[in-house]
Amino acid sequence: MPGISNFWAVIPAGGAGTRLWPLSRSSEPKFLRDLTGSGRSLLQSTYDRLAPAVDDRFLVVTGRAHRDAVVAQLPEVGADAVVAEPSPRDSMAAIGLAAAVLERRDPDAVMGSFAADHVIADAAGFREVVATAVAAAREDWLVTIGIEPTHPSTAFGYIHVGDRLAGHDGVRLVREFVEKPSAEVAEGYLATGRYRWNAGMFVARPRVVLDLLAAGDPGFAATLRDIAAGRVPLEEAWPTLPRIAIDHAVAEPAAAAGRVATVPATFGWDDVGDFDSLATLLGGAGVTVLGDADLVEAQDATGLVVPAGGRVVAVVGLDDVVVVDTPDAVLVTSRARAQQVKQVVDALKERGRTDLT
The site for its own copies (CB under 8 A) is made up of 22, 294, 297, 299-300, 309, 311-318, 321, 323, 325-334, 336-337, 340-341, 343-344, 347-348, 351, 353, 356
H or E stretch including 7?
strand 7-13
List the beta bridge partners of residue 11: 60
Q: Rounded to whole angstroms, how far apart are CA atoms 74 and 44?
A: 7
User: For residues 107 and 310, which CB has a smaller minimum distance to its own copies in the complex?
Assistant: 310
The least CB distance from residue 343 to its own copies, in Å, is 6
H or E stretch including 304?
strand 303-307
DSSP assignment, residue 324? E
The least CB distance from residue 341 to its own copies, in Å, is 6
The least CB distance from residue 27 to its own copies, in Å, is 15
User: For residues 167 and 317, which CB has a smaller minimum distance to its own copies in the complex?
Assistant: 317
Of the candidates 144, 147, 145, the residue with the CA atom closest to the CA atom of residue 260:
144
User: For residues 187 and 328, which CB has a smaller minimum distance to its own copies in the complex?
Assistant: 328
Non-local CB neighbours of 241 within 8 Å, separated by 6+ positions: 89, 92, 93, 220, 223, 224
Peptide bond into 22 cis (omega under 30): yes
The least CB distance from residue 281 to its own copies, in Å, is 20
The least CB distance from residue 319 to its own copies, in Å, is 10
User: For residues 38 and 299, which CB has a smaller minimum distance to its own copies in the complex?
Assistant: 299
The least CB distance from residue 28 to its own copies, in Å, is 16
List the beta bridge partners of residue 12: 61
The least CB distance from residue 36 to its own copies, in Å, is 23
Q: Rounded to whole angstroms, how far apart are CA atoms 192 and 211?
A: 33
Residue 73 near residue 44, CB atoms below 8 Å: yes
CA-to-CA dists, residue 173 to 136, 160, 208, 257, 289, angstroms: 11, 9, 16, 11, 42
List the beta bridge partners of residue 120: 269
User: For residues 243 and 351, which CB has a smaller minimum distance to its own copies in the complex?
Assistant: 351
User: For residues 51 and 344, which CB has a smaller minimum distance to its own copies in the complex?
Assistant: 344
User: For residues 26 and 266, which CB has a smaller minimum distance to its own copies in the complex?
Assistant: 26
User: For residues 187 and 300, which CB has a smaller minimum distance to its own copies in the complex?
Assistant: 300
β-pair type (158-164, 172-178):
antiparallel
The least CB distance from residue 65 to its own copies, in Å, is 22
Q: Rounded to whole angstroms, how far apart are CA atoms 146 and 159?
A: 7
